[in-house]
Amino acid sequence: MMAAHSSQSEGQFGGRVYVLAILTLVYTFNHIDRQILLILIEPIKAELEISDSLIGLLTGFAFAAFYATFGIPIAIWADRGNRRNILSLALAVWSGMTALSGLAQNFWQLLVARMGVGVGEAGGTPPATSIISDIYAPKERAFALGIYTSGIGLGILAGFAIGGFVYQAFGWRVAFFVAGIPGLLLAILVRLTLREPKRGAVEQRESASQASSLGETLAFIGGQSSFLWLLAGCSMICISANAFLAWTPSHLQRAYEVGPADIAIPLGLLIGGVGSIGAILLGRVCDRLSQRSLAWRPLMIAICAALALPFAWMFLNAETINMAYAWNLVPSLIGLIYASIAYTASQELVGLRMRAFASAFMLFCLTLIGIGGGPTVVGWLSDHFAASGHEMPLRSALEIMLILNLLSVFALLMSARTYTRDVARAAQVN
């Protein structure tokens, strides 16, 4: 019997490994269903006759608004209820709506389906990260959440592969069916094989019988300056990262005159495969460094954000597609670490029964600002530059996003100044 009880988190290592593996698989499906649209933008755009601005709305704000808004009440529910059941239900909803995306006959029908995906996915990460924090101690938490975050990369890899090759063989509509239907089976597996862990047991902390009120939780977060600075820094990175994630397939197809199937595997391996390896390895490095000082949590993101800048610029201006892939190696390797550390921070900087809400609050801001803003702004800028006669309007729009990476470094350095103090303060709150 595979369970996530506190006794397993301390003694029976296989139990918590199974839980982490299942939660990572769920997160992989989360991103398969979210990212498969990206590799299919060009054929969908052509068939449904929609502009870059509307594509940006479809991949950005329309999804993000529902994902972010529903994440808050679902997280409050998760801090009070059974997180496994919430996760299973959410997985079933977003998988079903992904499959329905394949039936869309126009932009508005596809928009409604993608909003449904956003509603379902809102119930994914808050309960999952809360569960992981109850079975992995602080000294190994960034590593565990790095493994969980690798689901982003694995989902991108699988989503790009499914989208590219199923599209080539059967069309873009079938690709949505292939991506969505298996998630319904996984939802049943989650419901039947996971158990609800005891809150705080791995840290030998007793959870309060009642969760803090919304006002109390927000007031506590507002007093954690390291949380707010880290949130600001990660939000700026998230805008840039999601702009690149949403538009890189289209940039490559337009700049080098290739099709979805031509870039599916190389781009999936880069963003997905290399990104997953980076999230796990850098999560381990972060845990090691954090044993000396917890300030390494935000410092690790700051270093990676600064390092990615020149490589991302060269990627956009590469003369050949193979050179573009080569320049994208470094940004892909370090591109997911901000997410795993943001999840780690959202668990360390608040009380036990604030964790699901803190994760959702972090996601609310990252999603609404990052996922909502990045693709939408780039789509609008691309149409603007095209109307102004730019030769490569999409590339010009993506170049502007890199300014945010530079600005994020300052915010993350500010977070590092008080991070250790704020973790100690949170440890006094149950």
pLDDT in tens, 298-350: 999 999 999 999 999 999 999 999 999 999 999 999 887 887 788 777 778 88
Report the first-to-last Cα separation within the chain, whole angstroms.
30
| Domains identified in the chain and CATH numbers | 6-199+213-426 (1.20.1250.20)
Calculate the alpha carbon distances from 377 to 68, 242, 283, 370 in Å: 18, 11, 30, 10
Collapsed DSSP state (helix, strand, coil) of residue 196: coil
Indicate whether 256 pLDDT > 90.
yes
- Vertex 211 angle, CA 207 and 212, to 5°: 115
Helices and strands per DSSP (H, E), number in the chain: 21, 0
- Which pLDDT band holds residue 135 (cuts at 50, 70, 90)? confident
Question: Among candidates 15, 87, 350, which has minimal Cα distance to 205?
Answer: 350
- State the pLDDT at residue 1: 33
Is a pLDDT exceeding 60 seen at residue 161? Answer: yes
Residues 334, 300: Cα–Cα separation, whole Å:
10
DSSP label at 5?
-
Over the stretch 408-418, which tens digit does the pLDDT of each residue have? Answer: 999 999 999 99
Are 363 and 351 in contact, with CB atoms under 8 Å apart? no
Q: Does this model's pTM top 0.75?
A: no
Give pLDDT tens digits for 72-112: 787 778 777 788 899 999 999 999 999 999 898 898 999 99
Distance (Å, rounded) from C-alpha 372 to C-alpha 21? 29
pLDDT digits (tens, 9 = 90+) for 273-301: 888 888 888 888 888 898 889 899 899 99
